[in-house]
Structures are given as structure tokens and as C-alpha cells.
Structure 1
Amino acid sequence: MELLLSEGQYNLVYNAFSFVIASMGAALIFFLLVRSKVDPRHRMAITLSTLVVAIALYHYLRIFDSWSAAFSFDGTNYLQDGEPFNEGYRYVDWLLTVPLLLAELVVVLKLTKGKTRSLLIRLTIAATAMILLGWPGEVSDPDSTARTVWGVLSTLPFLYILYVLFVELGRSLGRQSDTVRKLVDGLRYVILATWGVYPLAYIAPSVIDDEAKAEVARQVGYAIADVLAKPLFGLLVLGIALAKSREDGYGPALDAEHAHGDETGDPDVEVAHSPT
């Protein structure tokens, strides 16, 4: 059955994809520019953030083109009668970026080598399993049992990831400063909140009877979730890297903090000079 969207519905998805492209591009430029403010010992996390938004930018350009090529305008509505919309771009993007997102958090904390290696291996396996198990359900009929079964199976690795982040990683935060611990705690809840958008978008075709509305909800939901889970997540990781850089006495990070204090005009901001 060919999908028929109103002009407003089509443009909502079209503009959502455009917004994601702009967000990923802006984040890419910002991470490249701010990287020098971070102590070299913590720059790997920023490099990973940069790589994540670069990969997402490329895939959303492909998603944008695929969406445009899939529909034709008849003067009133958009009919999906062109090339099939390629949902695979999104899953390839997640397959690459989700493990990198988790690696950002683990790497920036500078845990022991053994703990870092263990967390990276287990989180990468769980993230990969989560994406691969979700794909068969994504391409299944919305009303089929297969979509539900694969969705549930995909949720299991997600729950394991949350367990590792909230329980095991929590045990490793004792050596971190109060500032970093608070930032990490906030970041873990951001993961919980933003990643929670994905299953809502996933089940949209199964719970919304109107096929057009369901497709719009799914595409816009995924777009919003990707902006929250990639640029926003990267900014929070950057905050942790900058905090650790300042604690280590790294000059550019201290200068950036002082410059921000000067711009706010706060007379109580203490200006501390970097060590020579």
C-alpha cells in the first residue's frame, strides 16, 4: 500500500531531517573548535563525539535524499510512489554511533585500564545486539507479532546497558571529584530519558491506527532522539572533559572558564592563572 501524506505531514518530516542535519553540522564544527581547550589526556572523548556527529551528519544527508526521492507531489498530497525509502541508513548509523557514544563516557572518566577495557567490550557488545535485534522488527508489518518480539528482544540489551551505567559504573566513581560525579550522574539520566524516545518511536506504527500519522510520529521521534542522544550527549561529555582538565590545571581550560566568567560580568568570579 502506497503511503499518502498531506503537505503538512510530509514537510514536518522533511524539516525534522533538515534540523538534524543542521544540528549535527553545528556540533561537528563546535567540537573541532573547542577540542584544544581540553587537556590532551581527555581529548579522546571529544574525538569520539566529533566522529559520532560526523557519521550522523553523513547518514542524515542520505536519509534526507531518500525521503525526498520516495515521494511525489500531486498538487495536494505527497504520494510515496518513487524509490523505496531506505530505513537502513538509520540503523547503519546507530550501529556505528551507539557504541561510540558509550565509549565517550567510559573514556573520559579515565578509569583503570582493566575496568575501561571491560566496560568498553561489554557495552559495545550490548549496543550492537540492541541495534541488530531491533532491525528485523523495524521492517516487519506494524501489526505483526514479529515486530513485538524483536522489540522486546532489543530491549534486553538496553536494560543491560542501563544496569552497567547505573550500577557498575556507579561503583567506579569514587575516585572522581564531586563535580565530575554530578556531571556523570546527570549524563546517565540523560541517556535514560533520551534513549527512551527511541522505543516510543519504534512502537508508533503498532499503536497509531492512521498509517500516515504513525509514519510521521516514527520519523520525527527518531530525529528528535538522535539530536538529544548525539550533539547533546557530546556537549555533556565535553563538560566532563573540561571539568577534569580544569582539575588537572590545564591552562586553556582554565582560560575558557575565566573568559566565561568575565562575559557574565559576575564580580565574584575568581580569576586563577594557569601554572607556568
Structure 2
Amino acid sequence: MAVRIAGVINTLNEAHNIRYSLGTLLPWCDDVVVVDQHSTDGTADIAREMGARVFQHEWTGGIGDAARAFAVAQAQADHVLILDADEMIPPQLARYLREQASAEDSPDVLLVPRVNIIMGRIMRHGTNWPSRRARFFRPGSVEISGRIHHGLKPRPDARVREVPARPELAIWHFSYPDVRTVVDKVNRYTTIEAEQALSRGEPPPRSARPFLGGAARWFWGSYVRDRGYRDGTAGLVLAVSRAYYRFLRAAKMWEQPRAGEREERVTALRERILSRHVSTDPP
């Protein structure tokens, strides 16, 4: 019996992307599932009209693990391919995945490379390539982490294989179209990551070292060690944003435990100024 493959996408206001990602799944997948988090831009309608099976899931606050696990559970297939709404796959990768799924020695998990397009430029160096992810798997062979940026991890007993690092066998990830998107995502993700770190018991920073040292190491690693400078200005912007990410994560971890104290101090100052007006005769 032929192996069934399902493509799965999670969405939230992805009307500008969904036509492209779905367009690379519908021609060859046996089942295509879109799990939408109550988009307000017509994403679900577009996906439904294109032929995907669409489900709704409550908003997960920017952490998509619950919605992703739900999406995988809806897939009616022997193997599942996970795509983000801003990703596409070439026909060569589609054929390769079906061949691998149909082979007698088919692996449980395939680590698929990604071509990252950032601000219109294909990023060819450092961690941007091949940037493999566990995106093609048998249901039950991966763990879906609730920690941001941890994604899908093969289970210890899973048979894992790497897809060759060739652009035609890679997921194409249209990640950051502009600097504004970079800044927005850095701000959103650092808030989530700082909250998760504190909830796990990670101590907030007590000195300047975590702020500056961590940021400096990430810039050096991204721009110098991993040769991000070879990706031109986009490589510089990305390296600085990664350094700022570490700084902002540390700053938010430092700030959050002090939020109550800060509000009390601000309120006291405002009340003091106000009281001076109340106690002073009007001019």
C-alpha cells in the first residue's frame, strides 16, 4: 500500500504567505492540514478555498507547541511534513521525501536543510545554512517542545537521517522581509524566552556581564566565527540583532522580578508631586 504523506501548517494572520506555502504542498501531499489560531485577515478562508483541511485552535500566546501538536494529531498519514507559513519547498524535495518515506529502510525522522532568505538575500554562511530541522517524521517519533526556539526534537530511539545540503532539497524560509520584522520578532520572542527562563528557575542577571558578555559572544559568533560578514549588510544586521536578542533577554529577566517595586516607586513619585499641588494654594 502506498505511503501517505501529510503536510501541516500552523497559521495566525498569514494571508500574505499562505498561498505560497500551501501551493507547494497541495500538488503532492495526500493530506494537507492547516491549524489556524483565529486569524482576522482571511487566512483560514484562503486555505479552505485552496483545498486544505482547516481547524481552529485557541491562541497560544506566541508559543505554538500546543497548536502544532494538535495539527500533527489531525494528520491522516504515515509521515508528516511540518512547514511554517513563510516557508516553501521545491518539487525536488517533494520527490525526495516521498522516495525516503517509501524506502524499505525509511528513517523515522529526516533533518531537512533550510535556505534562509533574510531581507531579500539568500544567507549562505554560518548557522543560516544548512540550518537543518526535524521537519519530516513518522507521528510519534519526535518531541514537540514548549520552549521557544527548541521546536521538534527526535526521540532518543528514533532512526534519524540528514537530507543532503543542497538548495533544491531544502525548505526555503522567507524569514525576515525587513528590519521592522526583525525588531518585532526580537521583542516578542525575548519576552517569551525570559518568562520561560524565570519559570524554570533560571536566576536573573546580577551584574553587567550577562548583558554585555552574552551579546558580545553572540555577535562575534554570528559575524566573525560563522563568517556572517560574507552575507553583506544583511549579515551585519542579523548579527547585531542576535546580539541584541541576548541583551534584551537578559534585560527582561532582570526587569521582571523588579516590576512590582518599580511600579511602587513610580506611583510614590507621582503621588508626591500631586500632593504638592493639592497642598499649595492656587495662584
**Structure number with higher helix proportion:** 1
Larger of the two Rg values belongs to structure: 2
Which TM-score bucket, shorter chain as reference?
Answer: under 0.3
TM-score (normalised: structure 2): 0.27
- The structure richer in strand per residue is 2
Which of structures 1 and 2 has the larger relative contact order (alpha carbons within 8 angstroms, sep 6+)?
Answer: 1
